[in-house]
Amino acid sequence: MNTGIPARKFLSTLVLGVASALFAGGMGIVSPAIAAPSVAGLPDFTDMVEKAGPAVVNIRTTAKMRSNPNGAMSEDEEMQEFFRRFFGVPMPRQPERTPRGNGKSQPQQEEEVPRGVGSGFIVSADGFIMTNAHVIEGADDVYVTLSDKREFKAKVIGSDKRTDVAVVKIEGGNLPRLPIGDSAKLRAGEWVVAIGSPFGLDNTVTAGIVSSKARDTGDYLQLIQTDVAVNPGNSGGPLINMRGEVVGINSQIYSRSGGYMGISFAVPIDEAMRVAEQLKTTGKVTRGRIGVQIGEVTKDVAESLGLSRAQGAQVQRVEPGSPAEKGGVETGDIILKYNGTNIERSSDLPRLVGNTKPGSRATISVWRKGATRDLQLTIAEMEPEKTAKKENGKTKPERTPNALGLSVTNLTEAQKRELNLDGGVLVDAAEGVSARAGLRAGDVILRLNNTDIKDAAQFNSLIAKLDPKKMAVLLVRRGDSSQFVPIRPNAQ
């Protein structure tokens, strides 16, 4: 049969085929051909950036400062100007120096000097612009420059330091604006773009992915973490998804050098818009409060109190006369839910309470002495934090040592009144395991595990009955706050 293929070429093709089969199939086991996975192309940002860019603005701020009559700047002013020009951030204002020489002060002229640069974006055609609170903080005047080089003097509508959100307004009509997205729908790994003015370079575009959509930085908000390059001057600019929608306001970077190191943070646009609406309506942000000082619940504390896992917010202090006190919240409670929402970490609680309208009713679920109970509270308006009042020194009564190395005494009636307590014992000295756990003289022990402490005799009796193989937990008051201290009786 004539196949039309010369014998030599056929043999050569056969040998190559067998060799391929041997390598691919593992010495004689022929494997089926494996299709190479299709490689998705990299995203193209050009159309989106071209459409979004005109709504991103440069913000520069100025301050009025007094200069020397000869026009020269002092050393402090020169240093401030250096930081403004090269880092885009202001130096703190220095106090004015007393003139030297004959002691006569010479007249000084007031001039407008640059204070800092940042970014922002237009959210409405009539000129409302969102940015960071720290971008405009301390400024006497704010100027907004559009991508077409038009410059406007802006009016500050309001700012909120807790969320680092500010709103300014320029007088204009039919201005380009950015559509607002939904930051709750962000996913880790999603492509995002930042547009801003790093180091004063207008309309600079950088891109990256969402690293985490809810990074708890210890501040009031959980922030969006990205690997988008953000530098001084990017602050206040938009973080934009692939649909051209704003999902965040670039606000912070993690850096040891002052420049970008691969981690940046943005305020979620959902929260930023809630703040902006209040700023536009009233010029300030109103938040709810219940009047408690809280802390994290550790694994050891959770196990000792009978909780299935470490969760909730531990109440360390209840402010006198606060909604929490009126609603029955006690020091040592673990708040597990707020209006039905689980409190996974202590930082969840202030966010939920803060977003509640003052005057409204709320239900919290607390874990107390091995059981859950629901409490009804009327939310108050947040006010400046009060300075904790320290305890007065007291004469040390006679020591009563126990197995934990604690020397405790009963509180006097005067001490109970002063501290607003019904019971507890005063730590006169802490040694051994107690000292290593952080206890010290002057602490007041209010509870052991789930049992309230009434006096020293009861406390020492409970200590003597502790199982040395199990972790115990003490509710300890220090100053005006209280916290749980895990301690193992047989710790060395």
The residues annotated with a catalytic role in the active site are: 134, 164, 235
Place of tokens 């990074």: 215
∠ Cα 182 188 192 (to 5°): 60
Alpha carbon distance 402, 389 (integer Å)? 30
Tokens (6 digits) for 9: 């070429």
Residues in CB range of 63: below 8 A, 6 or more apart: 90, 93, 112, 113, 115, 138, 139, 140
60 by DSSP, 3-state: which? Answer: strand
Contact 420, 401 (CB under 8 A): no
**Residue 134, annotated as binding a ligand:** yes
Alpha carbon distance 449, 435 (integer Å)? 18
Write the DSSP symbol of residue 282. H
87-93-94-95 Cα dihedral, nearest 10 degrees: 170
Q: Is the dihedral of CA 153, 71, 233, 200 positive or negative?
A: positive
**Residue 164, annotated as binding a ligand:** yes
* Beta-strand pair 165-169/151-160: antiparallel
45-46-51-52 Cα dihedral, nearest 10 degrees: 50
Write the DSSP symbol of residue 305. H
Instruction: List % helix, strand, coil for the chain (3-state, nearest 5).
Output: 20, 35, 45
Distance of CA 261 to the CA centre of its chain: 19
Alpha carbon distance 334, 256 (integer Å)? 37
Alpha carbon distance 439, 431 (integer Å)? 9
**Residue 461, annotated as binding a ligand:** no
The beta strand positions in 354-471, using DSSP E, are 361-368, 371-378, 380-381, 406-410, 425-430, 444-448, 451-452
Place of tokens 């051909």: 33
Tokens (6 digits) for 449: 């595990």
Q: Is the dihedral of CA 114, 116, 119, 123 positive or negative?
A: negative
Alpha carbon distance 197, 200 (integer Å)? 5
* Beta-strand pair 313-318/334-338: antiparallel
Q: Which residues pair with 449 in a beta bridge?
A: none
| SS3 per-residue string spanning 125-171 | CCCEEEECHHHHCCCCEEEEECCCCCEEEEEEEEEECCCCEEEEECC
Output the known binding site for substrate. 134, 164, 233-235
